[in-house]
Amino acid sequence: MTGDPHLLGSADAVSIARAVRQGSVSAQAVVAACLERIRRRDPQLNAFTAVLEESALQAAEQVDRQVAQGIPVGPLAGVPFAVKNLFDVAGLTTLAGSAINRENPPAIQDATVVARLKQAGAILVGTLNMDEYAYGFVTENSHYGPTHNPHDLNRSAGGSSGGSAAAVAGGLVPLALGSDTNGSIRVPASLCGVYGLKPTYGRLSRAGAALFAASFDHVGPLARSVADIALSFDVMQGPDPQDPVCTRRPVDPTFGQLGQGIEGLRIAVADDYFARGAEPPILAGVEKVAQALGVGQTVRIPEAQRARAAAFLITAAEGANLHLPNLRTRPHDFDPATRDRFLAGALLPASWILQAQRFRRWYRQQVQAIFQEIDLFIAPTTPCFAPLLGQEKMVIDGVEVLTRPNLGLYTQPLSFIGLPVLSLPLRESGSLPFGVQLVAAPYQEAKLLRAAAYLEKLGIPNAQPV
């Protein structure tokens, strides 16, 4: 590996960190090349809302100084990363995709997961565009503009972590952070052709991240290799008293388990709800993954459609409750698409929300029983390839439906009960990318990553930057 900007743009985080530790490339060369790619490419993509050039170069210089002095550096030493702009970054105002938040003072400290990545030697280069308050699947933000899909600039990058997915897919950074309420990591990962991990609910701290719906929200990484997902996940693990749902469960390193293969894993394909509605090439991709994993059984997730409906109700109500004062006094300052859905959520009857929560408990029990029989199941991530920017409708299962809400068709029923999910990037020759979800029981991220690493060795996922 050299300091050539083009070579560095295609390298993964694990390779970059290894080269920096060995002294075969300097962290300053890595970061300078990254910043040059951002300057050159981001005007097309609109993935970044802030670029931290000065502080990134200073951090890189510090890493190089430690390497030269023989001082141990972290496992992500010299690796550039960027974060969705709902994460606190010391010295920056946390926008969460909104105009209203521009009036807030700068954050005084980094979000916990941002701090942990920095402690591992990673170098923060900027913050990334998103749907306002993380309420959306397209990153067509009325305040900061749309983020464009690197594979086709006329198409959506997905959302709400669209800037994160586009920055990774476009080769601007090897690693980014996003958040996932109903699919906001996995949908853009699918449409942009990168890996996206939604860990178990409560597995990674959300302290210092602006929440959308507290009983759903997760944070997690997007990257171009399974190893990058595993290593970044490992360094972010650990309890955090600042987040009441980040449990004291012991850290379970996953990076070292990637070579264990799939022996002993019981895997099935989700049928019924998850086998209907997607475009034929996407269902063929699910079958391709299943065949590579030697899967011969199917599993039915009961009442997935009702789970999705209940998720809509609860997230709308929780999100609206967070923003009620501003909805009452300054509704004109919201993105219109966000405002109207929040207003609808504020008007939902309490009895509906209570019933949705009762159903949620029942649904969790049904899915827990399924994981007594299997370890993983496979499902599509999105029902379609990336839609055009501004596309209002699409056809699913022969029915014309609204595009924005239905991009989460297959992700919402899984977020609903906090399951860990990894979206794998697939891409056939000449096609746009799409994703396939691997889904496990709570706290079984290692099994997801073992299966993904096995598939990666077979060359099935394709996350090459464009």
- Residue-wise pLDDT for 39-90, tens only, equals 999 999 999 999 999 999 999 999 999 999 999 999 999 999 999 999 999 9
Asked if residue 404 is part of any domain, the answer here is yes
pLDDT tens by residue, 452-464: 999 999 999 999 8
Res. 323: pLDDT tops 60: yes
Q: In this structure, are residues 293 and 262 in contact, taking their beta carbons and an 8 Å threshold? A: yes
Give the angle subtended at the CA of 211 by the CAs of 205 and 217, to the nearest 5°: 60
The CATH number that applies at residue 249 is 3.90.1300.10
Closest by CA to 217, choosing from 175, 245, 248, is 245
Asked if residue 394 is part of any domain, the answer here is yes
The Cα–Cα gap between 298 and 296 comes to: 7
If you average pLDDT over residues 23-34, what whole number do you get? 97
pLDDT tens by residue, 352-400: 999 999 999 999 999 999 999 999 999 999 999 999 999 999 998 889 9
Positions annotated as catalytic residues are: 84, 160, 184
Q: In this structure, are residues 386 and 194 in contact, taking their beta carbons and an 8 Å threshold? A: no
Residue located via tokens 């991990």: 197
pLDDT of residue 250: 79
Q: In this structure, are residues 155 and 144 in contact, taking their beta carbons and an 8 Å threshold? A: no
Asked if residue 466 is part of any domain, the answer here is no
If you average pLDDT over residues 93-106, what whole number do you get? 98
Alpha carbon of 61 to those of 29, 172, 193, 378: distances in Å?
10, 20, 32, 44
The contacts of residue 170 (CB under 8 Å, 6+ apart) are 41, 45, 47, 150, 465, 466
> How far apart, in Å, do the first and last CA atoms of the chain sit?
19
Res. 229: pLDDT tops 80: yes
Asked if the peptide bond before residue 142 counts as cis, ω within 30 degrees of 0, the response is no
Res. 9: pLDDT tops 70: yes
- Binned at pLDDT 50, 70 and 90, residue 2 comes out as very low
pLDDT of residue 251: 86
If you average pLDDT over residues 442-449, what whole number do you get? 97
Q: What is the reported pTM?
A: 0.97
Asked if residue 464 is part of any domain, the answer here is no
Domains held by the chain: number: 1
The Cα–Cα gap between 284 and 275 comes to: 10
Q: In this structure, are residues 124 and 82 in contact, taking their beta carbons and an 8 Å threshold? A: yes
The Cα–Cα gap between 241 and 248 comes to: 9
Rounded mean pLDDT of the chain?
96
pLDDT of residue 413: 97
pLDDT tens by residue, 283-309: 999 999 999 999 989 999 999 999 999
Q: In this structure, are residues 130 and 163 in contact, taking their beta carbons and an 8 Å threshold? A: yes
pLDDT tens by residue, 401-418: 999 999 999 999 999 999
- Binned at pLDDT 50, 70 and 90, residue 7 comes out as low
The contacts of residue 392 (CB under 8 Å, 6+ apart) are 402, 403
Q: In this structure, are residues 124 and 175 in contact, taking their beta carbons and an 8 Å threshold? A: no
Residue located via tokens 């977020």: 415
pLDDT of residue 4: 54
Asked if residue 160 is part of any domain, the answer here is yes
Beta bridge partners of 299: 270
pLDDT of residue 5: 45
The dihedral built from the CA positions of residue 140, 143, 148 and 154, taken in this order, carries a sign that is positive
State percent of the chain over pLDDT 90. 94
- The parent domain of residue 249 ranges over 5-457
Alpha carbon of 294 to those of 134, 264, 267: distances in Å?
37, 12, 8
Asked if residue 462 is part of any domain, the answer here is no
DSSP 3-state of 203: coil
Structure tokens at 358: 């009762």
One-character DSSP codes across 147-181: PEETTEEEEE--SSSHHHHHHHHTTS-SEEEEEES
The Cα–Cα gap between 341 and 347 comes to: 10
Asked if residue 465 is part of any domain, the answer here is no
The Cα–Cα gap between 223 and 289 comes to: 19
Residue located via tokens 């400290």: 109
β-strand 434-440 against 376-380: which pairing, if any?
antiparallel
Largest CA distance in the chain: 64
Res. 135: pLDDT tops 80: yes
Rg of the chain over all Cα atoms, to the nearest angstrom: 21
pLDDT tens by residue, 242-290: 999 997 777 889 999 999 999 999 999 999 999 999 999 999 999 999 9
